[in-house]
Amino acid sequence: MNVPSVKQKKKDIIKVENKFLEKKETDKLALIAPNAPINIIKDYKLTEKRRIQLPDKIIGFFKCPNLRCITNTEEGLSSKIEIIDKKNILLKCQYCARSITTNELIK
């Protein structure tokens, strides 16, 4: 996407060096900075501009903040976190239905 960034006064940059970003990791980034573009730089050249997209669900990557949640008590059960509102980033655990804030996920 070629969106000019002139309008934005402050540009947030997330720098991830020498790393291949897996889908799960970009999902995590999307939660921290939903509007940040990802610039893929290879051999000092910008090769790709990517915008992170929030998935509908994040499975087994984060822990549910509710300690009594079945995903925390039952071994081998992956968490399922639903993104109910992508614009305002509203999250919910699919098991215990607890609302989760991004701060709780990223510690």
Least separation, in Å, of the C-beta of 84 and Zn ion? 14
The answer to whether residue 69 forms part of the interface with Zn ion (CB under 5 A) is yes
Cα 65-68-69 angle, rounded to 5 deg = 65
Binding of residue 66 to Zn ion (CB under 5 A): yes
Contact 91/62 with Cβ under 8 angstroms? Answer: no
The whole-angstrom separation of Cα 107 and Cα 67 is 15
The footprint of Zn ion on residues 75-94 (CB under 5 A) is 93
Q: Which stretch binds Zn ion (CB under 5 A): 26-34, 36-44, 49-57, 62-70?
A: 62-70
Q: What is the amino acid identity at position 54?
A: L
95 touches Zn ion (CB under 5 A) = yes
User: What is the spatial distance between Cα 64 and Cα 105, in angstroms, rounded to a whole number?
Assistant: 8
Q: Closer CB to Zn ion, residue 36 or residue 96? A: 96
What does the binding site for Zn ion look like in residue numbers (CB under 5 A)? 64, 66, 69, 93, 95-96
